[in-house]
Amino acid sequence: MELDVRKFKILEAVIRNYLQTGEPVGSRTISKDSDLSLSSATIRNEMADLEDMGYIIQPHTSAGRIPTDKGYRLYVESILAHKEKALSTREENIKKREKELDAMEKEYSSKMDQMKDIMEAVARSLADDTNYATMISSCMGKCNRIKFVQLSRLEEQKLLVVIVLEGNIIRNKVFNITKNITEDSIARLNMLINTTVTGLSVDELERQLGVLEAQSGSQPMLREVLEIIFETIRNADDVQIVTGGTTNIFKYPELCAGEIARDLITTLEDKQGLTSLISPGVPEEGAIRFYIGEETPVKAMKDCSVVTATYELSDGMRGTIGIIGPKRMDYEMVVETLNNIRMRLDDLFRKT
Amino acid sequence: MELDVRKFKILEAVIRNYLQTGEPVGSRTISKDSDLSLSSATIRNEMADLEDMGYIIQPHTSAGRIPTDKGYRLYVESILAHKEKALSTREENIKKREKELDAMEKEYSSKMDQMKDIMEAVARSLADDTNYATMISSCMGKCNRIKFVQLSRLEEQKLLVVIVLEGNIIRNKVFNITKNITEDSIARLNMLINTTVTGLSVDELERQLGVLEAQSGSQPMLREVLEIIFETIRNADDVQIVTGGTTNIFKYPELCAGEIARDLITTLEDKQGLTSLISPGVPEEGAIRFYIGEETPVKAMKDCSVVTATYELSDGMRGTIGIIGPKRMDYEMVVETLNNIRMRLDDLFRKT
DNA sequence: ATTAGCACTCTATTTTATTGAGTGCTAACA
DNA sequence: TGTTAGCACTCAATAAAATAGAGTGCTAAT
């Protein structure tokens, strides 16, 4: 059978109506609400065809139709196709977002040491805007470079190591020393470290570790400090995931039924199961991905749609930002919001 | 009417039974399960009395009895009274916890810069152990003292300020400068700052701010740096609250009914509404508090019990750790666990 | 003071009836 | 040939009625 223009229009009408109401859509509704001026009987015939083709389905005989995953996908792809034209229709929306991000930027710079806090703030604000649950993965990529290291004495037996990575990610660590060490030694250590490790990535550092140790016979502390730096970078490279607005799930009755909400929220709180959503293969720039229903790699989300976008820092470091909502989510709005925030995030991280 | 020993024993039996089953307890059950060897009829008479006294209640005529808030409170207080005797009955439990905390300690020292991470780890582990939801407030007390400040150049136009507070709480901040500054000036600034602000609290710093500024005519940067330090301390003083195991709520059917779970989890995710649970007045050392049902200051928890304990750092800084569960929570276990973790937390923070 | 026995109450569960939205199909129509 | 009106049919959702059983309160006997 052929999916002609009229059929597509009807499908579109069904989906749009269902997005709003969440209730199965009947032929009469379409007949009245759409601008096709066709009787309900005709719509009925067409809908039967659409059902045969697998785009819509009846929850039971004598109910209206609801979109299938396949139907949603067609719809989503048509949106994406039409997107270029109407790219910035919602000016006021964008302005609003810019304001928010400006505010966020301020806060960001005021506690730059807490990368996680920023992620949480973004996740939260995004959730508030969209009314869906959100997740953000921290930037990963095993190519963090060391920018600066500072060693200071904190107490008689304690040293503080401050390590700054490319992108101004800062880590601290307090570290106990057994034998006494003079201020002078500390200064020399500082010098030595900064001349040798600055600009190195983990890989490079790992490779050079042997060499460095060999030439450090006179500096007994060096080995331990390097060990710490090493571990720190590895830690910074760990992918962290934060979530926001998980309780927005409760706003959608179809997700509250049975165990669904419970499983979803548990999964979101757990964060473990979300890794499959981030970095799925292709690093295509600016790619927005849709997982509709059963398409999702996370089984707790089989009744949801998930939309993810990638934000990118210099050097191939990238993170994922995702929105989790009911299948009948407002895809247009989500795509727009996501595009928007992604661009702004790129700026935010790159410029500092 | 008099609450004699027998009545109390029956009340205790009812409560214990209800804690386990969550179902109303009938007279026959008590008659069989308790060691009182009384017929169900006798128990019935006594239970009617207990109901008159307000310790138990029937959900409806012809149902068993369930404890009222008043009943729970009596029970909880009797537990507390008997606690001293049997303080460390559950050796194996304590040992397990010590192991866990040792592991945590390791992690703790490995990313000491992320106070929040530790809190989250503790909250989570506590939730896993108890099967209830947990919350921890960070340590507060407007008496953080500055221990050490380090200023370093990061880029041509960027300085890094590292501030270490009493208790080795570390904050970083990157800060843009407009005019160039020589390495020499930075070194002098470092010296000046460390000699003047070390050991000061916010209050003291605030008082001395004017004086310092007056004598800093020659150091144009000083003012900005001090401003940053100031703000940083204020920020560190902010009470943070983290929660863990919020989804444990789902394990108790009586909390899943209707909107209860929804409201609870929303409140826990929000963290805003939890402030009323922390630091409620009396700073009595080691106090464990019970909020049973309607007693709670958080309205979303009116169907829960909340147990809180205080952990203490040097200098009157203290935080709260709380457990949120159904009214029929295992109070004995919670008290024990809480006592245990509180002591260990005191150590954990004090020693570093 | 304790207990056995019985009538009574009230929830929870199952069963049955009722309603109404929406379909599929047929026959008439342009 | 495509469109439409009309009608019988299906099925979920709601309401109403019937049933079962757990547990009580009270009375009378021990």
Across A224-238, A267-281, B66-80, B246-260, least confident range: A224-238
The mean per-residue pLDDT over the stretch B50-66 comes to 94
* pLDDT of B24: 96
CB contact under 8 A, B250 and A269: no
Give the one of B148, B152, B246 whose C-beta lies nearest to A148's C-beta. B152
- HEC assignment per residue over B39-75: CHHHHHHHHHHHHHHCCEECCCCCCCEEECHHHHHHH
Q: Is pLDDT larger for residue A143 or for residue B239?
A: B239
Closest CA to A72 of A60, A56, A59: A56
CA dihedral B161, B166, B170, B174 (to 10 degrees): -20
Give the residue carrying structure tokens 């601290």.
A172
Which band of pLDDT confidence, cut at 50, 70 and 90, is reported for residue B112?
Answer: very low
Overall average pLDDT of the A73-78 stretch: 95
Task: Identify whether the C-beta of residue B305 lies closer than 8 Å to the C-beta of residue B291.
Answer: yes
Cα–Cα separations (whole angstroms), residue B44 to B16, B21, B49, B67: 17, 20, 9, 15
Are A109 and A324 within 8 A, CB to CB?
Answer: no
Instruction: Give the HSE-up count for residue A288: Cα atoms under 13 Å, Cβ half-sphere.
Output: 22
Classify residue A208 by burial, with Cβ atoms within 10 Å: 0-12, 13-18, 19+: middle
**pLDDT the model gives residue B352:** 47
Whole-number Å distance between alpha carbons of A202 and A212: 14
Instruction: Report whether B148 contacts B283 (CB < 8 A).
Output: no
CB-CB under 8 Å, A148 with B154:
yes
Average pLDDT over residues B113-138: 87
Q: Is the pLDDT of residue B83 over 50?
A: yes
Decide which of A326 and B221 is more confident: A326
All residues of chain A having their beta carbon less than 8 Å from the beta carbon of residue B266 are 247, 250
Say what the pLDDT of residue B118 is: 80
Judge whether A269 and A135 are in contact, CB under 8 Å: no
Residues A15-43, mean pLDDT to the nearest whole number = 93
Q: What is the pLDDT of residue B140?
A: 62
Lowest mean pLDDT among A61-75, A206-220, B110-124, B286-300: A206-220
Closest CA to B137 of B313, B334, B7: B313
How far is it, in rounded angstroms, from Cα B134 to Cα B166?
27
Whole-number Å distance between alpha carbons of B261 and B254: 9
CA to C1' distance (Å), from B61 to D18: 21
Q: What is the mean pLDDT of chain A?
A: 83
Per DSSP, the three-state class of B1 is coil
Exposed/middle/buried for B94, CB within 10 Å: 0-12, 13-18, 19+?
Answer: middle
Q: What percent of chain B has pLDDT over 90?
A: 40
**Per-residue tokens: A266:** 């548990």
Question: Look-up: residue for tokens 């001349």?
Answer: A195
Give the separation between CA B6 and CA B36, rounded to whole angstroms.
8
- Label the pairing between strands B318-326 and B304-312: antiparallel
Question: Which range has the worst mean pLDDT, B74-78, B96-100, B119-123, B333-337?
Answer: B96-100
pLDDT: is A301 or B159 the higher one?
A: A301
Most confident of A224-228, A344-348, B70-74, B220-224: B70-74
pLDDT-based confidence at residue B109 (cuts at 50, 70, 90): low
Answer yes or no: are the C-beta atoms of B249 and B266 closer than 8 Å.
Answer: no
Which nucleotide's C1' sits nearest to the alpha carbon of B42? Answer: C2
Q: Across the interface, do A174 and B172 touch by the CB < 8 Å criterion?
A: no
pLDDT of residue A105: 59
Residue A352: predicted pLDDT: 47
Is the distance from CB of A344 to CB of A321 less than 8 angstroms?
Answer: no
For residue A133, give the 3-state DSSP assignment.
strand
- Give the residue carrying structure tokens 């998980």: A246
Question: Does A160 contact B162 at a Cβ distance shorter than 8 Å?
Answer: yes
pLDDT at residue B111 is higher than 60: no
Cα(B1)–Cα(A183) distance, integer angstroms: 77
Which is nearest to B202 in space by CA: B312, B107, B65, B317?
B317
Give the predicted TM-score (pTM) of the model.
0.85
One-letter identity of residue A246:
T
Q: What mean pLDDT, rounded, does chain B reach? A: 83
Asked if A172's CB is within 8 angstroms of B112's CB, the reply is yes
> Looking at residue B281, what is its pLDDT?
63
Residue B47 confidence class, pLDDT cut points 50, 70, 90: very high
List of chain A residues whose C-beta atoms are within 8 Å of the C-beta of residue B171: 111, 113
| Strand D–CB B120 distance below 7 A | no
The pLDDT assigned to B43 comes to 96
What single-letter amino acid sits at B55? Y
Contact A160 B160 (CB under 8 A): no
Q: How many CB atoms lie within 10 A of CB B139?
A: 25
Lowest model confidence (mean pLDDT) among A267-271, B8-12, B89-93, B249-253: B89-93
Q: Which chain B residues are Cβ-neighbours of A109 within 8 angstroms?
A: 174
* CATH numbers and ranges of domains, chain B: 5-67 (1.10.10.10), 91-140+240-351 (3.30.450.40), 146-237 (3.30.390.60)
Cα of first residue to Cα of last residue in chain A, in angstroms, is 56
CB contact under 8 Å between A150 and B150, yes or no, is: yes
Count of CB pairs separated by less than 8 Å, A with B: 91
Strand D contacted by B51 CB (< 7 A): yes
Which range, of A91-105, A261-275, B170-184, averages the lowest pLDDT?
A91-105
**Distance, angstroms, CA A62 to C1' C16?**
22
Q: Is A79 exposed, middle or buried (0-12, 13-18, 19+ CB in 10 A)?
A: middle
Closest chain A residue to B111, measured at CA:
A173
CA distance B101 to chain A (A): 19
Per CA to C1' distance, which residue is closest to D9? A62
C strand bases under 7 Å from protein CB: 2-5, 8-11, 20-26
Residue A313 region by backbone torsions, left for phi larger than 0, else alpha for psi between -120 and 50, else beta: beta
What pLDDT, on a 0 to 100 scale, did the predictor assign at position B91? 61
- Report helix, strand or coil for A202: helix
**Contact of B327 with B75, CB cutoff 8 Å:** no
Residues, CB < 7 Å to strand C: A 24, 26-29, 40-41, 44, 47-48, 51, 58, 61-65; B 37-39, 41-42, 45, 59-63
Q: Which nucleotide is nearest to A40 (CA to C1')?
A: D4
Strand A169-176 with A66-67, pairing = unpaired
For B112, which of A112, A116, A173 is closest by C-beta distance? A173
Task: Give nearest nucleotide to A26 (CA–C1').
Answer: C22
> Cα–Cα distance between A219 and A227 in angstroms, integer?
14
Question: Which positions of chain D lie under 7 Å from any protein Cβ?
Answer: 3-6, 9-12, 21-27
What is the C-alpha separation between A179 and A183, in angstroms, rounded?
A: 13
* pLDDT value, residue B101: 62
SS3 A62: coil
Say whether the CB atom of B29 is under 7 angstroms from strand D.
yes
d(CA A171, CA A158): 16
- For B351, the 3-state DSSP assignment is helix
Q: Which residues in window 60-79 of B are less than 7 A from strand D by Cβ?
A: 61-65
B173–A250: do the CB atoms touch at under 8 Å? no
User: Could you identify the residue written with the tokens 């209800």?
Assistant: B18
Chain A residues with CB-CB distance to B231 below 8 A = 110
Which sign, positive or negative, has the C-alpha torsion A339, A340, A345, A350? positive
Mean pLDDT check: name the lowest of A53-57, A164-168, B266-270: A164-168
Query: Is B268's pLDDT higher than 90?
Result: yes
| Percentage of chain B lying above the pLDDT 70 cut | 80
* Contact list, B236 vs chain A (CB under 8 Å): none
Q: Which residue has the higher pLDDT, A85 or A252?
A: A252
The Cα B136–Cα B243 span in angstroms is 6
Model confidence at A67: pLDDT above 90: yes
Cα distance between residue A95 and residue A99, in whole Å: 6
Structure tokens at B297: 């200051």
- Does pLDDT of A310 surpass 80? yes
Tell me which of A110, A242, A265 to substitute to probe the interface with B (most B C-beta atoms closer than 10 Å). Answer: A265
Least confident of A124-128, A132-136, A223-227: A223-227
Task: Report chain B residues whose CB lies below 8 A from the CB of A171.
Answer: 111, 113
CA distance linking residue A224 with residue A203, whole number of Å: 18
